[in-house]
Amino acid sequence: MRKFLAALTMALAAGGTAKADIPIALVGPLTGANAAFGEQLKRGAEQAVADINAKGGVLGQKLVLTVADDACDPKQAVAVANQLASKDIAFVAGHFCSGSSIPASAIYNEAGILQISPASTAAALTEDAFKKGWTNVYRACGRDDQQGQVAGAYLVARFKDKPVAIIDDKSAYGKGIADETRKALNAAGVKEVIDESITAGDQDFTALVSKLKQAKVEAIFFGGYQKEAALIIRQAREQGLTAQLVSDSALPALEFWQIAGPAGEGTLFTFAPDWRKRPAAKAVVEAFEKQGAPPEGFTLQAYATIQIYAQAVEAAKSTKLADLVKVLHAETFDTVTGEIKFDQKGDITRAGFVVWQWHEGKYAEL
């Protein structure tokens, strides 16, 4: 009888282990100026977890998602990272802002937690981690040096012999993309006539617009986020400045048009190709549409990030970082954004950016 009870106890224990949950997290700006993007990430990650669990989970285990808010603030991002590390989170999809992903990555590295950002494009995220010998940092999006080349090439093609201004918001993301765009412009023989920085959160750009008008600027590249971009172009139009605004991957949010209004008409920005049109994304896109909210901006990139983790765990048959790293550098992952393969630095190997345009309150890939 004792042998039977012992065997039964062992069987139940084994079964309990096999059906244990896998705790993962999504971190982004759920509050603050970039909360619209945090909501995109949240919707994508939650839907991916629900779909994966509905098909049996990962290794027979359910993914359990914790959603955390860093408000795109580096200090808050570090605090959140420490909290997640203390909870034995196996994987973090995040963060959104590069200025949050970079300091948080050190915490995840120390804790042995895999981090894949759906949206942080600053080259330093993976470059610095690679130089330090860290193996936990990846991204499911392109980099600013790639994005800057696309923006720069467009500006050169359209405005090579015309006055161009470059403005950034001093953030790790905004300054990074502005620097890369400037580099691409200068390499093509185009020298900007104005090079300015603003402070994120500012609302009055009257003096800046006056300076742009004086220089007779015909194109403005803005490295920063959607709110400031919208205010700059709205105030520019109010002062009669007709310069073309070209910006970055922080503009695929309806909030831009809500602030800019008709002044935002024709605004261009660099972003990933339209994943919604890909055959691999059809079923997922239709599911979002049935919910009355088509996947906007970074929604599908967040979904893909969870898919990558799930497929890596299945291939490695493990949630340990060392086992996952071997798979992440060897496998190609099938996601809603197409096939993804990582290089040795944790960057995706495919081209990352194209040009999009705002028209009548909607944005579309050119």
Q: In the predicted model, is pLDDT for residue 11 greater than 70?
A: no
- Could you tell me if 326 and 316 are in contact, meaning their C-beta atoms sit under 8 angstroms apart? yes
Using pLDDT thresholds of 50, 70 and 90, give the confidence band for residue 235. Answer: very high
CA-based Rg of the chain, rounded to a whole angstrom? 22
Reply yes or no on whether the pLDDT at 73 is more than 60.
Answer: yes
Whole-angstrom Cα distance, residue 147 to residue 92?
24
Phi, psi dihedrals of residue 243, rounded to the nearest 5°:
-55, 145
Q: Is the pLDDT of residue 14 over 90?
A: no
**Residues 282-309 pLDDT 10s:** 999 999 999 998 899 999 999 999 999 9
342 pLDDT above the threshold of 70: yes
One-letter identity of residue 365: E
Write the single-letter amino acid at 117: S
Q: Determine the pLDDT at residue 19.
A: 56
> Is the pLDDT score of 25 beyond 80?
yes
> Confidence band (pLDDT; 50, 70, 90) for 61?
very high
Q: Identify the residue whose tokens are 């580099």.
A: 183
Report the alpha-carbon distance of residue 318 to residue 164 in Å, rounded.
52
Q: What's the pLDDT tens digit per position in 157-195? A: 999 999 999 999 999 899 999 999 999 999 999 999 999
User: At residue 10, does pLDDT exceed 60?
Assistant: no
Task: Give the pLDDT score at 188.
Answer: 95
pLDDT in tens, 268-286: 999 999 989 988 899 999 9
- Given CA atoms 153, 350, 44, 35 in this order, what sign does their dihedral have? negative
Average pLDDT of the residues in 76-102: 97
Tell which residue, 357, 338, 314, 326, has the closest CA to residue 154. 357
Indicate the average pLDDT of the chain. Answer: 93
3-state secondary structure the chain: CHHHHHHHHHHHHHHHHHCCCEEEEEEECCCCCCHHHHHHHHHHHHHHHHHHHHCCCECCECEEEEEEECCCCHHHHHHHHHHHHHCCCCEEEECCCHHHHHHHHHHHHHHCCEEEECCCCCCHHHHHHHHCCCCCEEECCCCHHHHHHHHHHHHHHHHCCCCEEEEECCCHHHHHHHHHHHHHHHHCCCCCCEEEECCCCCCCCHHHHHHHHHCCCCEEEEECCHHHHHHHHHHHHHCCCCCEEEECCCCCCHHHHHHHHHHHCCCEEEECCCHHHCHHHHHHHHHHHHCCCCCCCCHHHHHHHHHHHHHHHHHHCCCCHHHHHHHHCCCCEEECCEEECECCCCCECCCCCEEEEEECCEEEEC
Residue with tokens 């994966």: 52
pLDDT recorded at residue 8: 34
* 148 contacts 73 by C-beta, under 8 angstroms: no
What mean pLDDT do residues 26-36 have?
Answer: 96
| 193 CB burial (10 A radius; 0-12, 13-18, 19+) | middle
Q: How far is CA 112 from the centre of its chain?
A: 22
pLDDT average, residue stretch 252-257: 94
Per-residue pLDDT at 12 exceeds 90:
no
**Residues near 326 by beta carbon (within 8 Å), at least 6 away in sequence:** 316
Least Cα distance to 179 among 146, 143, 148, 208 occurs for: 148
> Averaged over 26-53, what is the pLDDT?
97
Can you give the pLDDT at residue 15? 38
Provide mean pLDDT across the span 139-152. Answer: 95
Going along the chain from its start, the domains and CATH numbers come out as 2-142+277-340 (3.40.50.2300), 145-271 (3.40.50.2300)
